[in-house]
Amino acid sequence: MLEAIFAKELLKQEMCGERFVQIPEEIRDVYRLWRPTPMYRARGLEKALKTPAKIYYKYEGVSPPGSHKPNTAVAQAYYNMKEGTEKLTTETGAGQWGSSIAFAGSFFDIDVEVYMVRISYDQKPYRRVMMQLYGADVYPSPSDRTNTGKKILADNPDSTGSLGIAISEAVESCMGSDTTKYCLGSVLNHVLMHQTVIGQEAKEQMAMVEDYPDQIIGCVGGGSSFAGLFEPFYYDKINGRAPKDVEFTAVESTACPSMTAGEYMYDHGDSGRIIPLVLMHTLGHDFIPDPIHAGGLRYHGMAPTLSLMANEGTINVKAHNQIDAFEAAALFAKTEGIVPAPEPSHAIKETIDEALRCKETGEEKTLLFLLCGHGHFDMKAYDDFNAGKLKPFALPQDRIDRSVNRVKVMYPGLNK
Ligand SMILES: *Cc1c(COP(=O)(O)O)cnc(C)c1O
């Protein structure tokens, strides 16, 4: 059934039992524009914190669209091109995924149609311009182009939208045409696998400086960038090949805390309930987060594989609010020079906290975090932060319980 919306090769990878999948040469050719990405030692930050910990970060902001997302966008556009796809539809939150797939589509001559979450469409017009420059058509979601969008607008004409709604619109828009396919920028197994190029490189870079992380930290929206960094290290760990008992820490936003406060249950990945149920940590598919600036962390669900690992205690989960994240970002910008995207700023906050714990205990831990994107398109958010206009947005549990319970009532047999 999923072949109606996804390329066959990507579905094969989604269900794949192989341990390694080779990266085709045509994909490597595009990757070479910015890969390998640099790994830095954050000496300026270490000094400011007076920590004995060593802090490294892998920087994915050097890709042309400015984040890790082209790692999978290029692969998805390539496999679609091979199968004769003429148009790709997709959703985007902050615009990072949309600009990545627009970029990738332009390389493989595929038209791209993007449904952009309304709040970001209004707050981040420059990402829309970038997508259009790469040749994509961009619509604010909810839109009047789909039944899902029309229904939501009828209920609430001022809806700020959500990733779940935008996903439904993009899926609906691709159905009914053999040469139009849908693609997704996170959550799915094949997306996480494409991102593991980050961790493969990071392992070699760590070896070059004869070090190895004690802890790997990354922010999670749907979980793809974090999984991309830590999973190659995890593979070594479970095979007894890691020189240290490396720990993995996923950091989400307190405004959208699917793993730290949501429920592990069957739910839809989209608000329109077109996509099949998956077992994951979720806040409920109709949950609409408060308008925080980390658009990439506003998704109600989480990659099923990461959800399982969190449930088993294989990875740690933490949540930080956006004020703490922006304060960490400001210190990072002052000491390392790079203005981080709001999403990885949540990981920077956790890394700083850990480095300060090391200062108290005197531990000389090696920390590695993923700086998955730059914040050059997020100056409005930084302007609001500088002006003291941001709110911390911690989500009251009863609001989560209400949307989670709506899903439980909908599928009583599955979710006890
Ligand atoms: C999309 C995005 C995220 C969230 O998605 P993941 O799949 O969790 O990586 C985080 N940071 C940035 C910069 C993004 O573009």
> Residues 299, 416, 401, CA angle at the centre, nearest 5°?
45
Say which residue, 401 or 93, is predicted with more confidence.
401
CA distance 138 to 361: 51
Look at residue 416 and tell me whether its pLDDT is greater than 90. Answer: no
What is the distance in angstroms between the CA of the first residue and the CA of the last residue of the chain?
27
**Mean pLDDT for the stretch of residues 312-327:** 97
Q: How far is the CA of 378 from the centre of ligand 1 (A)?
A: 14
Nearest residue (CA) to ligand 1, atom 11: 343
Give the per-residue pLDDT at 209: 97
Q: Is residue 219 within 6 Å of ligand 1 at its C-beta?
A: yes
Give the per-residue pLDDT at 13: 97
Taking the CA of residue 96 as reference, the ligand 1 atom at the shortest distance is: 15
**Mean pLDDT for the stretch of residues 389-395:** 85
Kindly report the average pLDDT of the chain as a whole number.
95
Nearest residue (CA) to ligand 1, atom 15: 96
Look at residue 226 and tell me whether its pLDDT is greater than 80. Answer: yes
Q: Is residue 69 within 6 Å of ligand 1 at its C-beta?
A: yes
> Residues 40, 41, 42, CA angle at the centre, nearest 5°?
105
Q: How far is the CA of 184 from the centre of ligand 1 (A)?
A: 12
Q: How far is the CA of 99 from the centre of ligand 1 (A)?
A: 13
Q: What percent of the chain has pLDDT over 70?
A: 100
Q: Is residue 96 within 6 Å of ligand 1 at its C-beta?
A: yes
CA distance 119 to 160: 5
Joined tokens for residue 69 = 């997302």
Q: Which of 12-16, 75-79, 334-338 has the lowest mean pLDDT?
A: 12-16
Give the per-residue pLDDT at 210: 97
Q: Is residue 67 within 6 Å of ligand 1 at its C-beta?
A: yes
pLDDT band at 341 (very low <50, low <70, confident <90, very high): very high
**Mean pLDDT for the stretch of residues 120-145:** 93
Give the per-residue pLDDT at 176: 78
Give the per-residue pLDDT at 241: 95
> Residues 33, 39, 45, CA angle at the centre, nearest 5°?
135
**Mean pLDDT for the stretch of residues 219-225:** 97
- Give the up-direction half-sphere exposure of residue 75: CA atoms within 13 A in the CB hemisphere: 22
Give the per-residue pLDDT at 155: 95
Q: Is residue 343 within 6 Å of ligand 1 at its C-beta?
A: yes
Q: Is residue 65 within 6 Å of ligand 1 at its C-beta?
A: no
Q: Is residue 220 within 6 Å of ligand 1 at its C-beta?
A: yes
Q: Is residue 222 within 6 Å of ligand 1 at its C-beta?
A: yes
Q: Is residue 373 within 6 Å of ligand 1 at its C-beta?
A: yes
pLDDT band at 294 (very low <50, low <70, confident <90, very high): confident
Give the per-residue pLDDT at 203: 98
Give the per-residue pLDDT at 293: 84
**Mean pLDDT for the stretch of residues 367-375:** 98
Q: How far is the CA of 180 from the centre of ligand 1 (A)?
A: 25
Give the per-residue pLDDT at 289: 84
Closest-CA residue to 67 (of 116, 25, 103): 103
Q: Is residue 296 within 6 Å of ligand 1 at its C-beta?
A: yes
pLDDT band at 127 (very low <50, low <70, confident <90, very high): very high
- Name all domains of the chain by residue range, CATH numbers in brackets: 23-66+190-404 (3.40.50.1100), 69-185 (3.40.50.1100)
Interval 228-265: pLDDT, tens: 999 999 999 999 999 999 999 999 999 999 999 999 99
**Mean pLDDT for the stretch of residues 365-388:** 96
